[in-house]
Structure 1
Amino acid sequence: MEKTFSLSLASRRPRLDERPLEKRVGLIILATDHTTEPDFRRMVASERIGVYVTRIPYANPVTPENLRAMQPQLTTAAGLILPDEVLDVVMYSCTSASVVIGDDQVTAAIRAAKPDVPVVTPTAAAVEGLRTLGAARISVLTPYTLETSRPMADYFAESGFSIDRFACLGLTDDREMARVGLDELIAFAREAVAPGSDALFISCTAVRAASVAARIEDAIGKPVVTSNLATAWACLRLCGDHDHHAQFGQLMTLPLAGA
């Protein structure tokens, strides 16, 4: 049966909003990352803030050499996030790689594709978060081996923190790091924190610690900063969200200096 119909063009071109969403957060995450996107959907994305993701090639195991190998890909990855459009912030979601590559080098590589954009790394955000909480003495929990953890210990010591205790889980695959159970994270956090520390930092964007940060704070009686909690906090504040999100932990109730 033959169907007949006509097509017609609207009488005018639609008026366009400047942006579909008011603010844009770009994420550069590892090809193997299971955790950053769910965390940012839960803590950052909203009707006002859009989260736009690209993935960067990465191969396990987690070693300084494999982490450093991502550096040449950072500019290309940043350029793939809404090409030729302005972003309000770009976050590179790898804590240990930010240490071995360097915060300044990560920023320079991203800005080669997105000039002048504010860049957030988990390490710099964690330092800012710990300082905002007033922490001088810290304990640290990482999922890494001792080899991968040593540069991170040096990073936080050089940033001015006294490290009371530094505990490592000894894992080498970030996909396994993402599978550490939430109750296990709370148990290891209890073991990792020293009585005299002002706060606990839990490293790695693969680890699901941000989802239980408030529970860990209740368990240890101290503020907790995790990689994804710190970056989500920084991205929210840089996008003009200054609300208290106490359900995510103490850090999310505080301002970001200069935001």
Structure 2
Amino acid sequence: MKPLPEIRLMPTRPTLDLRPLEKRVGLIILATDHTSEPDFRRMVASDKIGVYVARIPYKNPTTPENLRKMQPELEAAAALILPDESLDAICYSCTSASVVIGDAKIEAAVHAAKPSVAVVTPPMAAVHGLKALGAKRISILTPYTAETSRPMAAYFAARGFDIMSFSCLGFEDDREMARIAPASLVELAGKATDAEADALFVSCTALRSALAVAGMERAIGRPVVTSNQATAWTCLRLCGDATPRPEFGRLMTLPLGQS
């Protein structure tokens, strides 16, 4: 057997870049989530923007009570994403939980670990997206039960939207929600959109709706905002990326500040 070579310490260290990637987006997702991570990988991650993920405990069914149980986990999850390093944005990727916990409480929990980071939630991002599109009268489609959908209706009504119609599918397990085919969502969009609505909001980060946005918009002839599309749009714009991505819907062609 040939003797091992002497290990030689190089006399100089290479120069270090300021960051491995120019921008950093943190993503907090449910333990059961199949969709948010792939969606952010395809819509947000690039050679300039890194997406860094932490998962938090969650057990079905998707009820307001179970959704609220995630609140105590948020600070620890945020702290696990690149500890002691800054982020440009951090997204808590659960629409229904964000509604029942509240955007302000989510922001406070994240800021306890990452004090200066921009905090994004799906319903908050959807509100900004719908306003950027000029939508006032909206239809809403969710995969949830009626019980879990009611707080969603109240959230958007409280922010000045006229809800022309609200449809839900009655699912209780987010893993099953993730198995709804994008083509089925296109068909459902046509049935769920009121004739007087300016836009359709499709709620839930578990749905593969980002893949169906373009098809849904063609089917209904109006803009469509979805949970992961809206948070991806917000995170991209917060990172200074204004590149139009029309394949993910009209929203992905707009600046963040347009209203």
Q: TM-score surpassing 0.5? A: yes
Q: Does 1:173 align with 2:177?
A: no
SS in 2 for 1:27: strand
Q: Deviations over 1:42-84 (max 9, x none)?
A: 1000000000000010000000000000000000000000000
SS in 2 for 1:112: helix
Residue in 1 aligned with 2:94?
94
Residue in 2 aligned with 1:117?
117
- The 5-angstrom pairing of residues 107-256 of structure 1 reads 107-256=107-256
Tell me the distance in 2 between the aligned counterparts of 1:2 and 1:14. Answer: 31
SS in 1 for 2:166: strand
Q: Deviations over 1:76-110 (max 9, x none)?
A: 00000000000000000000000000001000000
Residue in 2 aligned with 1:72?
72
Q: Which amino acid aligns with 1:59?
A: K
SS in 1 for 2:225: strand
**Deviation (angstroms), 1:3:** 2.0
Tell me the distance in 2 between the aligned counterparts of 1:237 and 1:5. Answer: 51
How many residues in Structure 1 have an aligned counterpart in Structure 2? 258
TM-score norm. by structure 1 comes to: 0.98
Residue in 2 aligned with 1:16?
16
Residue in 1 aligned with 2:58?
58
Q: Which amino acid aligns with 2:115?
A: P
SS in 2 for 1:66: helix
Q: Which amino acid aligns with 1:158?
A: A
What is the identity percentage for the equivalent residue pairs of Structure 1 and Structure 2? Answer: 66
Q: Which amino acid aligns with 1:139?
A: S
Tell me the distance in 1 between the aligned counterparts of 2:173 and 2:244. Answer: 34
Q: Which amino acid aligns with 2:168?
A: C
SS in 1 for 2:113: coil
Q: Which amino acid aligns with 1:130?
A: L
TM-score norm. by structure 2 comes to: 0.98
Tell me the distance in 2 between the aligned counterparts of 1:60 and 1:158. Answer: 28
Q: Which amino acid aligns with 1:160?
A: G
Residue in 2 aligned with 1:42?
42
Q: Deviations over 1:100-141 (max 9, x none)?
A: 000010000000000011000000000000000000000000
Q: Which amino acid aligns with 1:207?
A: L
Structure-2 change in CA distance of 1:4 and 1:228 (3 Å):
closer
Task: Report the RMSD for the aligned CA atoms in angstroms.
Answer: 0.8
Tell me the distance in 1 between the aligned counterparts of 2:135 and 2:2. Answer: 76
**Deviation (angstroms), 1:11:** 1.3
Tell me the distance in 2 between the aligned counterparts of 1:158 and 1:228. Answer: 22
**Deviation (angstroms), 1:4:** 4.1
Which 5+ residue runs of structure 1 have no aligned equivalent? none
SS in 1 for 2:135: coil
Q: Deviations over 1:194-221 (max 9, x none)?
A: 0110000000000000111011101110
Q: Which amino acid aligns with 1:78?
A: A
Tell me the distance in 1 between the aligned counterparts of 2:82 and 2:167. Answer: 39
SS in 1 for 2:204: coil
